[in-house]
């Protein structure tokens, strides 16, 4: 080993690295070639992943209100067809909820699809973790909700994303539908009571009041039934997911290039370390 290369690390200059390269260039070259060959082999063995995406906007929940449908709300402020930030947050919360994730995992049997053994320890947790690594639901810079998923099966990936959007809509509209159904039952029961009172009433004024109340209840009941029968959606799907034409990852050329550069710099750094060890030993 040349003594000119043995010096403290803080005294190293570019010329010293050139000297080290010249001294160990064969070893550095062979190691870099080995990294290139290994990275090519590994990149070819990696599974191909495809990305599917759907874009949707939340719809204002006021669109399901009977007063909006029948134009009975006086002095109402203007509202947008598309929801506000609270509607977007609600949709995002649903999109990332366990109810949606568990639904997709069970419907598409992702335990088998991800090739986990049936007796795998913490099986469901591992399946869910892998799904969440590939799944993203967020609000983009256009204030739309963007749902993306990557998977090795491009057709199944698109189906899962579209099913996620439908499930989100089902969960988000469920409280509205259930609330209206409850009100309909209450109005129906109250209307029956008022009709019974009317049949038993003898006073003319009381009959007039009951008749007026029955008319109002009947009108409200009809409106709630109409608004509940109308299929209300909590989202507007701007872009449905489709099977990807090309893979999303791995980017094989990038893996090879980074491996070559990493191998070169690692081997060069290793030669510097070897020289430093020799310098320390000589100094002792």
pLDDT of residue 217: 77
Mean pLDDT by 10 residues, the chain (284 residues): 50 66 83 91 89 89 53 49 74 93 95 90 92 93 89 94 94 80 81 80 76 79 69 83 88 90 88 72 64
pTM reported for the whole predicted model: 0.71
50-173+232-239, CATH topology level = Alpha-Beta Plaits (3.30.70)
pLDDT of residue 204: 77
Question: How does DSSP classify residue 235?
Answer: E
pLDDT of residue 151: 94
Domain parsing of the chain, residue ranges: 26-46+252-268, 50-173+232-239
- With the CA atoms of 260, 262, 265 and 268 taken in that order, what torsion angle do they form, in degrees rounded to the nearest 10? -80
pLDDT of residue 120: 86
The sign of the torsion formed by the CA atoms of 4, 10, 15, 21 equals positive
pLDDT of residue 84: 67
- Contacts of 178 by beta carbon, 8 Å cutoff, 6+ apart: none
pLDDT of residue 74: 43
Which of 17, 169, 155, 22 has the alpha carbon at shortest distance from 91? 169
pLDDT of residue 58: 87
């Amino acid at each position: 080993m040349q003594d000119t290369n043995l010096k403290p690390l803080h005294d190293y200059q570019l010329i010293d690295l050139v000297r080290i390269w010249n001294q160990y260039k064969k070893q550095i070259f062979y190691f870099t070639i080995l990294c290139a060959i290994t990275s090519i082999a590994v990149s070819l063995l990696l599974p191909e992943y495809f990305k599917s995406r759907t874009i949707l906007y939340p719809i204002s929940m006021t669109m399901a209100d009977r007063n909006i449908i029948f134009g009975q709300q006086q002095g109402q402020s203007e509202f947008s067809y598309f929801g506000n930030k609270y509607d977007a947050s609600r949709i995002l919360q649903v999109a990332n909820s366990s109810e949606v994730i568990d639904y997709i995992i069970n419907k598409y049997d992702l335990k088998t699809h991800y090739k986990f053994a049936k007796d795998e320890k913490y099986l469901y947790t591992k399946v869910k973790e892998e799904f969440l690594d590939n799944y993203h639901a967020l609000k983009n810079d256009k204030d739309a909700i963007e749902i993306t998923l990557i998977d090795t099966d491009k057709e199944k990936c698109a189906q899962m994303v579209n099913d996620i959007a439908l499930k989100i809509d089902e969960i988000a509209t469920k409280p509205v539908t259930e609330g209206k159904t409850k009100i309909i039952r209450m109005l129906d029961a109250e209307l029956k009571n008022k009709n019974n009172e009317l049949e038993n009433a003898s006073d003319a004024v009381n009959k007039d009041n009951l008749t007026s109340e029955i008319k109002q209840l009947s009108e409200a009941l009809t409106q709630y039934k109409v608004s509940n029968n109308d299929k209300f959606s909590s989202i507007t799907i701007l872009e449905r997911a489709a099977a990807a034409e090309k893979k999303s990852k791995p980017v094989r050329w990038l893996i090879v290039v980074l491996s070559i550069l990493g191998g070169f710099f690692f081997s060069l750094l290793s030669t510097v370390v070897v020289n430093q060890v020799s310098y320390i030993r000589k100094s002792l």
